[in-house]
Amino acid sequence: ILIENTEDERLRRRWVATSVISNLCLLGYFKYADFFIDTLDRAFGAGIPHLNIVLPIGISFYTFKTLSYTIDVYRRELRACRSWLQYATFVTYFPELVAGPIVRASVFIPQMGRTLRPSWRRAAVGLQIILLGVTKKLLIADRLATLVDPVFGAPASYDSLTVLTAVIAYSLQIYCDFSGYSDMAIGVSRIIGFDLPENFDMPYLSTSITEFWRRWHITLSSWLRDYLYIPLGGNRKGRGRTYLNLFLTMLLGGLWHGAGWTFVLWGFLHGIGLAFHKMWMQIRPQHRARFWQPLSWLATYAFVCLGWVFFRASSFSVALTVLRKVTWVEPGGIQFLYLPFFLLLPLIVLGHVIGRAAAALDDPVAVRRSRRVDAPRWLQWAYRGVRTPFALRPHPAAGLYVLLPLPGFVGAFVLTIWILIVYLFSSLQTSPFIYFQF
C-alpha cells in the first residue's frame, strides 16, 4: 500500500527493495544457510556447526508469490490489496502452496469476489482433473519409483540397460508426479471456485529446450522470465548479454529448486542449453526446420534426461556413475527387467497422442473469446450433436483440459472403469510428491 500511495520514485524503490530483500533473506536463511555452511566447511575446513533449520512448508512457492505481488504493485500493473484476509488467503492458499502452480496475485485476488457456492458443473470438471492427477501419481509415478529408487540408490550394481531404463523412467516419473500434483491442485480449486493457471503442456513433445521450458512448470518459467530474465536486461542489450541473462536465470532457477550443487549444475546445463539454442536459431536455415524436427525432438529429450540425472542423483559421484552406465563405459551389473515400465509406456504415449489431437482439432481462439470450456470437437460424436452441459466460464489464465463429460449411463460406466483401474493397479507403496522437498 505504501508503494502504491507514494509518488516519490526514489522512495518507491526503497520500499520495494525492502520487501524484496526481506523476502529473499528469509528464504536464504531457512533454505540455504546450512547449504552454504556445508560448502564453507568442505572448501576451507571452517568447522562451522550446522544450524539444522527446519524448512517451513511451501516457503519456496509463497516467497515467489509475495515477490511477484509486490513487484507488480511497484510496476503499477496491480492495485494493492486492501484486505488483510484476502492477502493472507492468497499467500497461504493450501492446494497449490506446497508444490505449485505458482499463482500470481493478479490471477487469484480478483477471483475472490466470486460467490463460492457449490456448483455441479465446476465439481464435474474439477473431479475429472483430480482423477487425472491421481492417475498420474498413483498409477504411473509411484509405480515407476519402484524401478527408479533402487537404481539411483546404487547405480554401480546394475547393468547399463537397466540404468538407462531407470533414467527414462525417472523422466516420466517426475513429469507424472509433478503434473499430477498440479492437476489435483487445479481440480480442487476448480471445485472451490478458483481457476488456477495451467502448469504443464505435454513438455516431452518439445523439439527444443526453449520450447520445453514453455511447456514445463509454466508458472515458474513465466515467473523467472518476468521477474528475473527481463529485469536483467532480457534480449535488449545485445546477443552476448542475452546469452548471459539466460544462463544466470536458469542457474538461479536451479538453485531455487534445491540447496545442493547438483541442482546448481542442473540449472547450469539448462542455461547453457537455452543460450546455445538461442544462438542456433539465429544461424540455422529455417527452411530445414521440418526436416530436422524428429532429430530435434530426440536431441531435446536426451538433453532433458541428462539434466534429470543430476536433478535426481544424491551426489555428483552418483550422477557420474549413472552417466558411465548409460554410455556403456561400465556396462556390467544386475539386469532388472521391470515389466510395469513397458506396460505404462504405451499408456503415456497414448495420452500424449490424444492430447496432441485435441489441441490440433480444437479451436483455442474461439474458446478464449467466449471463455467457455467445452468438449473438443473430436469428441462431439459422444453427444450426438448436443453440446456438453459442463461448459463453464473460467478465468482467462486457466488452462484447457481434455475432459470426457459423457452423458448418462455411458459416462457413469466410463468413470467407474477408470476408478477401478486406478484402484486395482496403483502402487501399494506410495511415495511423497517429489516437489515437496523444494
Residues tagged active-site: 257
Cis ω for the linkage preceding 101 (within 30 of 0): yes
Cell 521450458, located at residue: 213
All three cell numbers of 54, joined, read 527446519
Amino acid type, 56: P
C-alpha triplet 431, 213, 350: angle, nearest 5°: 60
Distance of CA 10 to the CA centre of its chain: 36
Phi, psi (deg, nearest 5) at residue 24: -70, -35
Could you write out the DSSP letters of every residue in 220-277?
HHHHHIIIIITTTTTTSS-HHHHHHHHHHHHHHHHHHH-SSHHHHHHHHHHHHHHHHH
Could you write out the DSSP letters of every residue in 37-89?
HHHHHHHH---PPP--PPPPTTHHHHHHHHHHHHHHHHTTSSPPP--HHHHHH
Amino acid type, 287: H
| Beta-carbon count within 10 A of 90 CB | 22
Distance of CA 169 to the CA centre of its chain: 17
Q: Which of 128, 141, 218 is nearest to 418 (CA)?
A: 128
Contacts of 62 (CB under 8 A, 6+ apart): 91, 92, 97
265-275 per-residue burial string, b: 16 or more CB within 10 A, e: under 16 = bbbbbbbbbbb
